[in-house]
């Protein structure tokens, strides 16, 4: 099974600053997905990171707030820009191995607290 590594695992940030989360997959994958999970809530899809093209954002999420990079088939970053306390959440990177099962593997998550 794929291993997905995220960093940082957690961080405490000041209002107005930006933080970039890195996600590394140990095998090449076509699509990578970024989710947000607020405390006690379900997972909400932020965007799909496509290699070689711009990310596809879900309703309610915009590139200026959550810029995403996907430089190659094993790596992606998500930046949370101009943070406010409402951005305090766990951010999860995920990927499908491409075996046709649709199964998503997740990273351990990055827990951000914005003061």
**What residues make contact with another protein under the rule CB under 8 A?**
31, 33, 35, 41-45, 48, 56, 58-59, 92, 101-109
Nearest distance in Å: CB 105, another protein: 7
Contacts by residues 40-46 (CB-CB < 8 Å, ≥ 24 positions apart) = 43/92, 46/78, 46/91
Are 19 and 9 contacting, i.e. CB atoms less than 8 angstroms apart?
no
Q: Which is nearer to another protein, 14 or 101 (CB)?
A: 101
Q: Which is nearer to another protein, 14 or 99 (CB)?
A: 99
Judging by DSSP bridges, how do beta strands 110-114 and 10-13 pair with one another? parallel
Nearest distance in Å: CB 16, another protein: 29
Which of these, 20, 18, 13, 16, lies nearest to 34 by C-alpha position?
20
Q: Which is nearer to another protein, 15 or 63 (CB)?
A: 63
Nearest distance in Å: CB 17, another protein: 25
Query: Token pair of 19, please?
Result: 């933080």
Nearest distance in Å: CB 43, another protein: 4
Are 56 and 48 contacting, i.e. CB atoms less than 8 angstroms apart?
yes
Q: Which is nearer to another protein, 39 or 52 (CB)?
A: 39
């Amino acid at each position: 099974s794929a291993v997905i590594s995220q960093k940082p695992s957690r961080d405490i940030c000041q209002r107005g600053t930006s933080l970039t989360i890195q996600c590394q997959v140990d095998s090449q994958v076509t699509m990578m997905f970024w989710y947000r999970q607020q405390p006690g809530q379900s997972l909400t899809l932020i965007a799909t990171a496509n290699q070689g093209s711009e990310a596809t954002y879900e309703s309610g999420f915009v590139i200026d707030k959550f810029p995403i990079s996907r430089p190659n088939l094993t790596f992606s970053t998500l930046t949370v820009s101009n943070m406010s306390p409402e951005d305090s959440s766990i951010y999860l990177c995920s990927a499908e191995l491409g075996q046709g099962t649709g199964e998503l593997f997740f990273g351990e998550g990055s827990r951000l607290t914005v003061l």
